[in-house]
């Protein structure tokens, strides 16, 4: 038992330490000359906002319909219908969004399968051999500490460009997160109700399948959905490094300075994330 005074003193010590870290970080930023927002931050901000404020699909339907290509002397080389072009782009956007969903769903499913044995071995209350438990916990921790984007770079090199690299990247990182979350859910179980089943003379496997598994299944499902929400966002970014999906279009639009298209893509991304989050929350409430 610690007295309240000692607890408060500790709290103050940690607060002071945190203040120190903040101060040193800021001082170092200033010392290295990085404490700057560039030459004309406000002008740049306004221009970016302006460029993003005209999403390409709005432009195509409200602005000039014809897109005219001219040579230097003014001769018309080619005329395109902007709406046709935009329609093709939106179709591509839809496909990319679907690819993002695919990467997230399959990646999460793969992670769920891989994380389960790791969690069962590392949950303290299931009393797996200590060496095995430590190995599983270390593996999960390593997987968790490497970002999906970094795994993406590795897997693009291994399996080539495309959604497969994205799926494996999402799966690898989420396996680490899910293993930890699963293990915590298993550790939070009512120990005595498991003990009660074991005491009837049930074998280890019977105890697991008739007591641990049914009690923990709703939580695991809920955790899967929760991680799926994160993975939708992660897999959208994974396209930036060539793993398919919305990120690929983002990287195209930014490298061609097509800010209107970038705005359209971002709207689609926000909508996608919002819909998945809302569905997932609804299902999770229903299950628990």
Partner 1 sequence: MGEDAIRIRGASFRQGRAIALRGVSLSIETRERVVIVGRNGAGKSTLLKAMAGLLPPSMGEVEWPLHPKGPRVALIWQGIHLVQRLSVLENVLIGALGRCCSPLTWVRVFPEAERVRARSQLARVGIGHLADERAGRLSGGERQRVAIARALMQDADVLLADEPTSSLDWGAARDVARLLSELAASEGFTLVSVVHDLSLVEALGDRVVVLHEGRVAFDGAWEPSRRDSVVRMLAVGSEPSAAAA
Q: Could you tell me the maximum CA-CA distance found in the chain, to the nearest angstrom?
A: 93
Pairwise CA distance, residues 285 & 288, whole Å: 6
Question: Contact between 201 and partner 1 (CB under 8 A)?
Answer: yes
The pair of structure tokens assigned to 63 is 């602005």
* Identified binder of partner 1 from the candidate list 29, 196, 270, 283, rule CB under 8 A: 196
Q: Which of residues 4-43 bind partner 1 (CB under 8 A)?
A: none
The least distance separating partner 1 from the CB of residue 186, rounded to whole angstroms, comes to 14
The pair of structure tokens assigned to 213 is 């598994």
SS3 47: helix
The stretch near partner 1 (CB under 8 A) out of 68-76, 102-110, 201-209, 234-242 is: 201-209
Sign of the torsion angle spanned by Cα atoms 200, 203, 204, 207: negative
Count of helix runs (H) and strand runs (E) in the chain: 12, 2
Q: What DSSP string describes 101-145?
A: HHHHHHHHHHHHHHHHHHHHHH-GGG---HHHHHHHHHHHHHHHH
Question: Contact between 288 and partner 1 (CB under 8 A)?
Answer: no
Question: Contact between 193 and partner 1 (CB under 8 A)?
Answer: yes
* Identified binder of partner 1 from the candidate list 149, 150, 159, 215, rule CB under 8 A: 215
Question: Contact between 210 and partner 1 (CB under 8 A)?
Answer: yes
Question: Contact between 197 and partner 1 (CB under 8 A)?
Answer: yes
The stretch near partner 1 (CB under 8 A) out of 13-21, 209-217, 238-246, 248-256 is: 209-217
Residue 101 or 216: the one with the smaller Cβ distance to partner 1 is 216
What does the binding site for partner 1 look like in residue numbers (CB under 8 A)?
190, 192-193, 195-197, 199-203, 205-206, 209-211, 214-215, 217-218
């Amino acid at each position: 038992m610690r007295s309240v005074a000692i607890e408060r003193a500790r709290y103050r010590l940690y607060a002071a330490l945190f203040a120190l870290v903040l101060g040193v970080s800021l001082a170092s930023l200033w010392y290295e000359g990085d404490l700057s927002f560039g030459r004309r931050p406000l002008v740049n901000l306004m221009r970016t906002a302006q460029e993003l404020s005209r999403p390409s699909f709005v432009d195509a339907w409200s602005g000039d319909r014809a897109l005219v290509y001219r040579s230097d002397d003014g001769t018309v080389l080619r005329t395109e219908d902007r709406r046709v072009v935009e329609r093709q782009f939106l179709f591509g956007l839809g496909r990319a969004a679907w690819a993002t969903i695919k990467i997230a769903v399959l990646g999460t499913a793969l992670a769920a399968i891989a994380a389960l044995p790791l969690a069962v071995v590392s949950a303290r209350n299931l009393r797996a051999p200590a060496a095995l438990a430590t190995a599983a916990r270390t593996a999960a921790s390593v997987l968790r500490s490497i970002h999906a984007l970094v795994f993406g770079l590795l897997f693009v090199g291994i399996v080539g460009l495309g959604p497969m690299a994205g799926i494996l990247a999402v799966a690898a990182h989420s396996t680490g997160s899910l293993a930890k979350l699963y293990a915590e859910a298993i550790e939070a179980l009512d120990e005595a109700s498991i003990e009660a089943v074991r005491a009837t003379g049930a074998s280890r496997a019977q105890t697991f399948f008739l007591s641990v598994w049914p009690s923990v299944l709703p939580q695991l499902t809920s955790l899967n959905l929760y991680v799926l929400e994160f993975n939708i966002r992660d897999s959208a970014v994974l396209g930036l490094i060539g793993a398919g999906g919305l990120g690929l279009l983002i990287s195209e639009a930014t490298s061609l300075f097509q800010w209107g298209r970038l705005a359209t893509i971002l709207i689609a991304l926000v909508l996608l994330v919002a819909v998945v989050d809302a569905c997932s929350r609804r299902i999770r409430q229903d299950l628990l």
